[in-house]
Amino acid sequence: MHTPAGPMLALSCAVLALTTQPAAAQEQEEEYVTTAERNVLLEEALPGIEGKIVSINHFVMPTEWTGGKHYHSGPTYVYVLKGTFTVEEEGKPARTFQAGELYVEPIGSPMQAFNKSAEEPFELLVFQIQNEGEPLMYQAD
């Protein structure tokens, strides 16, 4: 007996979708909340681009501060206002940025920030574009 491929293919796709949904739900991303002082300067819809938010944040990291490992889901630009900012991206050597320098964070790539100074905090201005309803940062393992 010959069975048309269309109904079998549709049934196979439906079964696959139903069996993979729980696994996807378990892999849900968790928001990362920094221990640094955060002042939200702007968080609003990006004009002309539906579903996107622009965020501008001022961060102050105390002396000898270590941030948690995290990543951003959209373009993120970090401008150092004061002090020295050290960043470690997964699989790369640590890099250090001074006041007046810009660090472009790679989208979706885990990183960790540090203030290795025992004398002064550092301050950053962070510009980010993200999807509406998404947090600023996600935790990374």
How does pLDDT run across 32-73, given as a tens digit for each residue? 888 899 999 999 999 999 999 999 999 999 999 999 999 999
pLDDT band at 29 (very low <50, low <70, confident <90, very high): confident
**7 domain-assigned:** no
Q: Mean per-residue pLDDT for 71-83? A: 95
Does 28 reside within a domain? no
- The yes-or-no verdict on residue 14 having pLDDT over 80 is no
Q: Is residue 122 part of a domain?
A: yes
15 in a structural domain:
no
The rounded mean pLDDT for the chain is 83
Residue among 69, 65, 116 at smallest CA distance from 90: 69
Is 17 inside a domain boundary?
Answer: no
- Quick one: tokens of 22? 């729980």
97-120 per-position pLDDT tens digit: 999 999 999 999 999 999 999 999
CATH number at residue 126: 2.60.120.10
Report how many domains make up the chain. 1
As to burial, measured by CB atoms within 10 angstroms (0-12 exposed, 13-18 middle, 19+ buried), residue 130 is buried
| Partners of 59 in the β-ladder | 38, 124
30: in domain: no
Residue 103 within a domain: yes
- Does the pLDDT value for residue 2 go beyond 70? no
Confirm whether 86 is domain-assigned: yes
Residue range(s) defining the domain that contains residue 128:
37-139
Measured CA distances, 70 to 50, 55, 62, 96, 101 (Å): 26, 17, 18, 18, 21
User: Can you give the pLDDT at residue 27?
Assistant: 52
110's enclosing H/E stretch is none
